[in-house]
Chain A
Amino acid sequence: MFTVIKPMRGPKFKNEVARYPGGENIKRCFACGTCTLSCPVSEAESNYSPRRVIHKILLGLKDEVLSSDEIWYCMTCYRCQVRCPQDVKYPEIMRVLRQMALEQGYVKSEFVDAMKEIEKVTQDIRRKILKRFIEKRESITEKDIREIISLSDKIQP
């Protein structure tokens, strides 16, 4: 499969991102991969790579990025940002992209609201699982966890 990198018409995507607060350092990236290796989401979903998302932005793949699932994956733990040697601020950039996606009609505001709701609920579920585990202090498998939340079918990819 080939990706053809076309010259952009109008303002370039990376410059657009760089103009938002938090996006200003995006062009400093030298693709070292520290962000991807820091990312707890990448640990669960090996196809998710913050480095690749940044690279796509730099390549100007605006449609692909703004319509992707990826920009909603970040759980803003900021580990990548703390460890990035070039101060690229990935979680801030994700915030920028989400805003752009909304502003430019890639998603509706209801979608963003739902995302916020999901974040909240997921955090709540996470806390409950942890609580159950901490109480029992026994070894726990992925299956056990899925049983605890009894949602196993629905959240499987």
Chain B
Amino acid sequence: MNKRILVIGGGIGGVQAGLDLAQMGIKVTLVEAKPSIGGRMAQLDKTFPTNDCSTCILSPKLYELASHPNVDIFSYSTLDKVDKKENGFQARIRKKARFVNEEKCTACGLCSEKCPVKIPDLFNKEITTTKCISIPYAQAVPAVYKIDKKHCLYFSKGKCGICQKVCTAGAIDYEQKDTIETIDFDAIIVAAGAEEYTPRIRPEYGFGIYDNVVTSIEYERILSASGPTGGHIIRPSDKTAPGSIAFIQCVGSRDISSGNYAYCSSYCCMQATKDAIITREHDQNACSTIFYIDIRAFGKDFDKFVDRAQSEYNVKYIKSRISEIIEKPKTKNLAIKYITPDGRINTKEFELVVLSVGIRIPDQIKELMTELGVKLSEYGFCPCDAFEPGITNVDGIYVCGTLMGPMDIPETVMSASAAASMAARGLLSPEISSEIIKEKPAEIAIEEKYLKIGVVVCHCGVNIGSVVDVPEVVKFAGSFRNVVFADELIYACSRDSIKYIIDKIKEHDLTRFIMASCSPRTHETLFKSALEEAGLNKYLMQMTNIRDQCSWVHQDNHEEATEKAKDLVCMAVGRSRYLQPLHELDSEVNKACLVIGGGIAGMMSALFIADNGFRAFLVEKDTELGGNLLKINYTLEEKNISWLLGKIRERVQEHPLIDVCLNTEIREIKGYVGNFTTNLTSGKEERNIEHGAVIVATGGREHETESYGYRDESYVVTQREFETMLLNKNPMLKYAHTVAMIQCVDSRESDKNYCSRVCCGEMVKNILQLKNDYPDKDVYVLYRDIRTYGMLEPYYTQARKTGALFFRYDIENKPVIQKEENGEFIITVYDEILRRYIKLRAQLIVLSVGIDPLETNDQLARMLKVPLNEDGFFHEAHVKLRPVDFATAGIFVSGLAHGPKYINESVSQAIAAASRALTIITKDKIRSEAHTAVINEVRCTGCGFCVDVCAYNAIEIDKEKNIAAVNTLMCKGCGSCAATCLSGAVDLSGFTNKQLIQEFQELFL
């Protein structure tokens, strides 16, 4: 058993799956066809609904993956062949020639600067050009250049060779050949992703003909500060800032006429909303209009985001699909004809048009899947069963991300984490710890030694050296008291240089080391490891960034750049005087996980913990397992839910590693990551359990409504009740010739301003069932937006085909129901298309009431010290990239407790939570941060302000001493407490007041 898993695709899905597996102790080989990992997310400017910078949140994950000892990344590589073997696979990976030696390239960029050949920049969607030898984007991982052989003068004409001449690292290798490696794998995770639709298929939108019509992904690049326009929103035709921008939705989605695009692409409504908001933030006079069919703001906090776009950013939403775009010859403006909200036809000119293009699976990925033997749907995606998201028809091959169907980043991350623990089954064991133990020389005690500081200033090729006078900085550094060694290096990060640094530390008996070079984000770990090799504590190094902060930003002013570099080095010297050795603390991990809630999410989490060989406690307050699923009979995809639920319950109950605690409540949870103690009560019985992680899967419940006469009328029912009526062939159905359904009851308004996500699908499901059983019955649906996103859209089409009629109503003008003497209902609603009120007659009214959070969430949240959002659902650590984590380490969330979602989504998130918990409980020991808060017990007054600001619940007030106490294992070293403390009693180790003050004293005194 080699315990190695192949991950195909280096987008956010592949990266997350790879990271989770690596953290569980499994070796990962990640193959990416492009020269760098990061995928589509690296091209986005920001992410909704928090408007975080996409690259800023993504790149730490990329670095983390690339530097993980369990991970091998094969970028710019393809799979030649994959063979099924006994208990696994064998893959032949072709690493294509970059003509640049990956080991030697330092990404200084000189080759690209001097290269005379310009080629279209694919990363920037060809809006601009790049050089023939290039890197896709500044933060690309791996940071290795690549020659485009087709356009290179050396290869085509045998001339040039400039890049080789200028490369001081000697990394250019024109003779480089493709290399092939054959590796055995236990399992494969395919995270190959999707691509955007080409709008040329719809010529009426003029894409590729009119200059100022761009796709949404091109617009992301235009918005991006690191994009082709440097973050200035300018339109292609005349490079001016557009004052009016139109977004056209559903280009290549919900469209069967231009190809097989019957599905909804899920994220485009929110992407357009986000882009419209960012546009306004760039330019206070820019006005955006979004032309849509239905606004699908179905995710957590999405409706509030759309509301804000309208109220704060002047974004207009107009329900009108656009027929054509006409370019005005002189101005190159674009005329768009649309239907106004009151039904008139109007034409307006826009200066820029953004087409919200949908996604599809590219042919080469379809071919790959065929090669692997994985079945795809008629749309080219890889659909999975609701209870087995990620599992394909081929044993040992799993899928995640947009390959499964259109989805946004958090769903991709969840499915990737889920795929990790599915693929890991059989490879983990509580006996084998997953933590990385690195052999290193014994640490030299520095306390008894003289303070001896060494300084190295790096040229970074020409990156620093061509602007900053490096020898001058070295001379300056050498002039300080206690500095016994100062030198310069062309590339401090090269292998020879690291060895040189180690030798010099030993030779001069250095006790502090200063590195004046590039960004700690990319290189600190490397230099720290050099100190470790030399026997010094790695926290005795101080890095200062004279590249980004001197040579890059002041490249036009060499003198002042040099002066600033000297200042920075001076400050680093000052600070280093008080640097102290720091050590991470190890703590034992209890290898069990507590799962709170015995619904489908809780059961799946427990199953995947247990299937991977670890113990799970499954606590359910009710007398049986199943939760909300006990009341659901069928879904759009699964006809027999109760049978499937029965099988899962059976597996859970019979699993030797799952301790099912029914009729049990949680009284108290104490402890921290790796070491929790929980007090369970069942009736009068009480017991304590110990575990290393917690998964919150407490679920949600159907909203109780008083609207539309639900309380008093027996013929007004909820969708769920209607489903049961259909199942039982309730006699009421005989009488009800016409069924009227009302969507968004009490939802998306005032105090319940969120979309419950599942109601449109429920409505469609029940229509299909009703029409199947009783084809003659009429159905009216009164809706605000139909939100059958992703692969649910074809079901909506099917529902329309059965003859169900849909009427859109406005929140200001809700339908009114009157009861007739004969018991029938008359519904009066304004028909936007007829432009008059209509009266509909129905005998049965079905309400879509949505999902409420549990009232008990508040109590559990306080017990675990985790936050809820304003609607009362549990609030994850990060909406995009940490959708199952809490900020507090060791606690995870899944299912309806996190927010409304479908069964398959709950299951996916539940398995993802199991994965995340496994990354902790597979370890024997977990390691704390070295930089943590330290309380000065004399100064602390026990006021508790630090407790309030700590996002990680790492501080408590010791009641006996009445002073704050920091749990080092939970502390992340953010420093909030130190900044808050009024008595100056908190210091952050590695960033102590003394160190910081000395930094300034050195500079100014």
Contact = CB atoms under 8 A, between A and B. Distances in A.
Interface string A61-88: 0000000000000000001001111110
B260 to A, nearest CB: 12
Contact of A28 (B323, B800, B841): B800
Contacts of A29: 800
Interface residues of B, number: 42
A7 B339 contact: no
Contact of A52 (B258, B324, B834): B834
A30 B800 contact: yes
Contact of B324 (A3, A27, A46, A83): A83
A85 B345 contact: no
A46 B339 CA distance: 11
A59 B339 contact: no
Interface stretch (B74-82, B213-221, B539-547, B801-809): B801-809
A43 B344 CA distance: 11
Interface string A29-43: 111111111100011
A87 B839 contact: no
Contact of B833 (A37, A51, A82, A86): A51
Contacts of B343: 49
B340 to A, nearest CB: 11
Contacts, number: 106
A15 interface: yes
Nearest to A52: B833
Interface in A5-23: 5-7, 12, 14-15
Interface string B832-870: 011011111100000000000000000000000000000
Question: Which among A5, A7, A28 has the highest number of chain B CB atoms within 10 Å?
Answer: A5
Given A14-B803, A33-B339, A87-B257, A3 B797 contact: no
Interface string A116-131: 0000000000000000
B257 A85 contact: yes
Interface in A48-62: 49, 51-52, 55-56, 58-59
Contact of A85 (B258, B339, B796, B800): B258
A114 interface: no
Contacts of B838: 2-5, 59
Given A12-B803, A55-B834, A85-B250, A30 B339 contact: no
A5 B323 contact: no
B558 interface: no
Interface in A88-113: none
Contacts of B324: 37-38, 83
A3 B803 contact: no
A3 B322 contact: no
Nearest to B826: A4
Given A7-B738, A55-B833, A86-B256, A37 B800 contact: no
Contacts of A35: 323
A1 interface: yes
Contact of B321 (A6, A33, A58, A87): A33
Given A1-B837, A5-B841, A46 B344 contact: yes
A5 B840 contact: yes
Interface in B749-773: none
B737 interface: yes
Given A83-B323, A84-B257, A27 B803 contact: yes
B839 A5 contact: yes
Contacts of A3: 831, 834, 836-839
A12 B802 CA distance: 12
A27 B778 contact: no
B360 interface: no
B317 to A, nearest CB: 14
Contacts of A46: 344-345
Nearest to B738: A7
Contact of B256 (A2, A49, A85): A85
A34 B803 contact: no
B648 interface: no
Contact of B339 (A5, A37, A43, A86): A37
A82 B201 CA distance: 12
Interface in B871-921: none
A36 B339 contact: yes
B320 interface: yes
Q: 10 tightest CB-CB pairs across the interface, nearest first?
A: A32-B321, A37-B323, A85-B255, A38-B323, A55-B833, A4-B839, A3-B838, A33-B339, A34-B321, A32-B293
Interface of A: 1-7, 12, 14-15, 27-38, 42-43, 46, 49, 51-52, 55-56, 58-59, 79, 82-87
Given A5-B839, A52-B834, 10 more contacts: A2-B838, A4-B839, A30-B786, A34-B321, A42-B345, A56-B834, A59-B838, A79-B323, A85-B255, A87-B257
